[in-house]
Structure 1
Amino acid sequence: MSNSTNQLTQSIPTLNETQLTKLNQAITGLDQTQLIWASGYLFGVAQQGLAAGAPAQGSQESKVLTILYGSQTGNAEYLAKDHKKRLEAEGYPVRIVSMADYKPKDLKKESHLLVIVSTHGEGEPPDDAAELWEFLGSKKASKLDGLKFAVVALGDSSYEFFCQTGKDFDTRIAKQGATALKPRLDCDVDYLESANAFITELTSSIKDELSAATQAATPIAGVSVASAESAYNKLNPFTATLLTSVKITGRDSVKDIRHIEISLADSGLQYQPGDALGVWFENDAALVDEIVALTKNRAETEVTLKEGALSLAEALKGKLELTLSYPGFVRAYAEAIGNAELKALSDDRNKLRDYLVDRQIIDVIREYPAEIPAQQLVESLRPLTPRLYSIASSQAEVEDEVHLTIGLVEYEAYGKPHLGGASGYLCKHLEEGDNVRVYVESNKHFRLPEDPNTPIIMVGPGTGIAPFRSFLQQREAEEAEGKNWLFFGNPNFTQDFLYQVEIQKYVKSGLLDKVSLAFSRDQQEKIYVQHRMIEAGKELYEWLEQGAHFYVCGDANRMAKDVNDALVSIVKTHGNKNDKEAEQYVNDLRRAKRYQKDVY
């Protein structure tokens, strides 16, 4: 057997003589590219085999680093997959598993565990982490005395319960007897640098413990496994072209909602119904000028960021967050300008939270204008982050385009007009033909059923209709036989019936079997989608009993919770169940991936 073949077989589980002969025949004559691919593939098989047949905790063969991730918008997943590639290249035995696909009782089989998890909403776990999170907090949780672990918590300090899910995992795993390899790392939205440093230091510290297993599964030196993914991603976005931006609410509507079409021609970017589009935006030039003036700076003053040296104006326009306010900015700004009143406010957590409810960063600077060195100003601000929008199209229908349904954030406060950062950029500042930097964020936890004959129920008020437009386009293109039921709501029928013509066309063609509409302000008593669900509860429950998948998209804080409560109530009433049984029924839907949410 050749030296290359020898190296290949080091990456797979033990084979018998017949299997080795077949393997040798299969790879004889492979060229270098094929050999590289095969080595990467077989190394992956080895890791899967190691994971599936992991022996009792503590034995040498079980010394594998397992990376468990729980992700709502893709950040935790990206971080986990990125480090899996890095660690495999260095010869570490490592496997990666989404919490949605992980059996909680397998925790007791692990030797080394890295948890990377985001916090969703107001301190809640992301959907794919919910079951494991609940298990660890229950009486069923396994003893983990032999486990060594670390936690990377991702969050957003503009929310009250910053990194709460990561904190919960850290506490609950430790409570079961596991040993922390490092104190938990809590990351804000600019997580990459600190998370990379943490994980690098962590893996370096356990290298000797994993070395025995590493030697048994060393991939070919220098091999880079080919990937089918596009070259464009969050850190390397594609420069696309804005094709269309049109308002789709009426003149008298209380909402300004836009239908936006973007060309992805020549990008190779592919997406599936349920995915999101990440949009990198630029801050409003007038906002930049005002901040420069209020802090008594000059636009051309040079400052230094991670990317290098650039002018203050360039930094404020394209590199730093100027709209979403957060406690860290107030504290840093108060310290920099030496304002005692603002410092006292920043030290009071409750008062600060209330203060920031409807204020943007510019409001803080307007209220407390002061001279501050340009470098200190930029250091008080956090890096700009892209915004994610549910994709409102299927490539089976629109090919090399991507469509979005965006609600413009625009309001008056403190005597001044305010715009959302990304929505203002897309809806107000860009003209048709202008460039916009984008990437696709996969969302495998919001997918159409694999069987096109499966019925689906879609609840999407307001801009929450976006992914369901993509679902319907896809089902039409595939000539799917499964029944489709859409719940849609907005303030007024005449002003806010988004995609009305398309929906009517789908009803006429038979693609949409049922449409339940809730226009809250068309009558004295407000009616929302959850009320329509209750009204149609008997039939909705029958659909669920027939195997229907249930989807929700839209506001996380109120709508999604009200819809969940309505669903539990329907199951209780029409399924003749008590409270506990109804909750269990809905939880079982979620575990079976028949209840999926895309909420924000």
Structure 2
Amino acid sequence: MQLTLENPQNTKSDTLPFSRNNPFQAKVLKNINLNGTGSSKETRHIELSLKDSGLSYAPGDALGIIPENDPELVATLTEEMEWDEEAVVIVNKQGDTLLLKEALTTYFEITLLTRKILQQAVAYTDNEKLQKLVLAENANQLKEYCYGRDLLDMLRDFGPWKASEQEIVSLLRKMTPRLYSIASSLTANPDEVHLTIGAVRYTVHNRDRNGVCSVLCADRVKEGDTLPVFVQVNKHFYLPEFKDKDIIMVGPGTGIAPFRSFIQERAIYKATGRSWLFFGGQHAAADFLYQNELEKYQQDGVLTRLDSAFSRDTAHKVYVQHKMLENSKELFNWLENGAYFYICGDKEHMAKDVNEALISVIEKEGGLARDAAEAYLKDMQQQGRYQRDVY
């Protein structure tokens, strides 16, 4: 399988460097599931070749993938709407054209709805529910409808439609690249880039849903296939300039990705600073990502401390923030010694809970009032010693 978009054979490579608008077709060298039997999760470890790309990256950077939509979803759309998949449609303001099937597969975002799409779609149907939904006073209901729904939901819910294939695709946005924290050091893995991708699958509004890029990588991309990629520099998430600085990393689940990169890099350069990793998952037996690697790094002294929390293995759920609080005295000593503190992973819950735990540690061990503890953390942030890569 070769994913293609705009630049199928890297034809611009002689004149332009590879980038978001001119992605490199990276060959898949390895694609394995990191989770064990009985896990409710599926996390793919993917290794890609960057040979002859000229691309480089630093620990903390991200890799962009330009994905394709699920062919089954595309087929359902064209069948239910009785569209001609061979119809030629204009896809952008420049007047470029694609066959409808290709446009829906490679060019347009079809799994996300926006208020703008619904507001414009009203012109192509007499459906009273939609007419009412897009009224200004129903802004909250419109926002609520968009959440978790896609183009197929809209077409099913508000027909019959008086629109051509062209009119419907003209409502859609261009596919956006998906960014993933890089899970490797280029120094340790020349000409390669590794990713740690959790397959997103869920059921909502009576339909099974899949993450566009994550399930593409989990189900449809095989070793030997290529993926269109580019490097996205992350200026706000990086290792300390000096190798003698201590680092504390909190990365449960796929949040481990950049820290695998950090640890590999520091192993190569024989960093003298200490390193401490907090990792979390549901079950130690099935969800301890990169366990053997991490334990080997600990044995070799590259990783000074490794604290893990597995929430479903105990009567009371234990998370990474609980492990931080258990080790508050030593954690604060590391901070006082100038350690850099990093968080990667879920923005909604984990990152907030870890931030709260960090303030509590500073408050308790530093003998500070809450506002002084918050100021301490803000000062760390201004020094570049508190960094977050959350999503």
TM > 0.5: yes
**Which residue matches 1:575?**
366
Task: Write the distance in 2 (CA, Å) between the matches of 1:281 and 1:461.
Answer: 25
Q: What is the aligned counterpart of 1:506 among 290, 293, 297?
A: 297
Aligned-residue offset at 1:417:
2.5
The yes-or-no answer on 1:526 pairing with 2:317 is yes
Contact preservation (8 Å) 2:281, 2:288: yes
**Which residue matches 2:127?**
339
Q: TM-score, normalised by structure 1?
A: 0.60
Aligned-residue offset at 1:369:
4.6
Aligned-residue offset at 1:506:
0.8
Aligned-residue offset at 1:558:
1.2
Secondary structure of 1:463's counterpart equals helix
The yes-or-no answer on 1:329 pairing with 2:117 is yes
**Which residue matches 1:545?**
336
Q: What is the aligned counterpart of 1:485 among 276, 284, 301?
A: 276
**Which residue matches 1:401?**
192
Give the aligned CA root-mean-square deviation in angstroms: 1.4
RCO (CA 8 Å, sep 6+): is it higher in 1 or 2? 2
The yes-or-no answer on 1:413 pairing with 2:238 is no
Q: What is the aligned counterpart of 2:51 among 252, 255, 265?
A: 265
Task: Write the distance in 1 (CA, Å) between the matches of 2:159 and 2:28.
Answer: 37
| Deviation sequence 1:474-515 (CA, Å, 0-9, x none) | 000000011000001011111100000001101111111111
Q: Aligned letter for 2:330?
A: E
The yes-or-no answer on 1:360 pairing with 2:146 is no
Contact preservation (8 Å) 1:484, 1:514: yes
Contact preservation (8 Å) 2:34, 2:44: yes
Task: Write the distance in 1 (CA, Å) between the matches of 2:310 and 2:131.
Answer: 45
| Deviation sequence 1:186-233 (CA, Å, 0-9, x none) | xxxxxxxxxxxxxxxxxxxxxxxxxxxxxxxxxxxxxxxxxxxx8111
Aligned-residue offset at 1:412:
2.8
Aligned-residue offset at 1:345:
2.4
Task: Write the distance in 2 (CA, Å) between the matches of 1:468 and 1:484.
Answer: 10
Number of residue pairs the alignment of both structures matches? 371
Q: Aligned letter for 2:157?
A: E
Q: Aligned letter for 2:255?
A: G
Q: Aligned letter for 2:44?
A: R
Q: Which runs of 5+ in 2 are unaligned?
A: 1-15
Q: Aligned letter for 1:331?
A: Q
| Deviation sequence 1:451-480 (CA, Å, 0-9, x none) | 100000000011000000000000000000
Secondary structure of 1:395's counterpart equals coil
**Which residue matches 1:304?**
90
Q: What is the aligned counterpart of 1:496 among 281, 287, 294?
A: 287
Q: What is the aligned counterpart of 1:246 among 16, 23, 32?
A: 32
Q: Which runs of 5+ in 1 are unaligned?
A: 1-229
Task: Write the distance in 2 (CA, Å) between the matches of 1:292 and 1:299.
Answer: 7
Contact preservation (8 Å) 1:335, 1:343: no
Secondary structure of 1:234's counterpart equals coil
Matches within 5 A, 1:259-298: 259-298=45-84
Q: TM-score, normalised by structure 2?
A: 0.92
Task: Write the distance in 2 (CA, Å) between the matches of 1:490 and 1:327.
Answer: 36
Matches within 5 A, 1:139-158: none
**Which residue matches 1:255?**
41
Q: Aligned letter for 1:450?
A: E
The yes-or-no answer on 1:424 pairing with 2:215 is yes
Q: What is the aligned counterpart of 2:105 among 303, 314, 317?
A: 317
Task: Write the distance in 2 (CA, Å) between the matches of 1:508 and 1:412.
Answer: 42
Contact preservation (8 Å) 2:127, 2:159: no
**Which residue matches 2:12?**
none
Matches within 5 A, 1:363-382: 363-371=153-161, 372-382=163-173
Higher helix share: 1
**Which residue matches 1:558?**
349
Secondary structure of 2:144's counterpart equals helix
Summarize the Cα distance change of 1:549–1:283 in structure 2 as closer, same or farther, 3 Å threshold.
same
| Deviation sequence 1:272-316 (CA, Å, 0-9, x none) | 000000000111122112112222311111111225122111111
| Identical aligned residues as a percent | 45
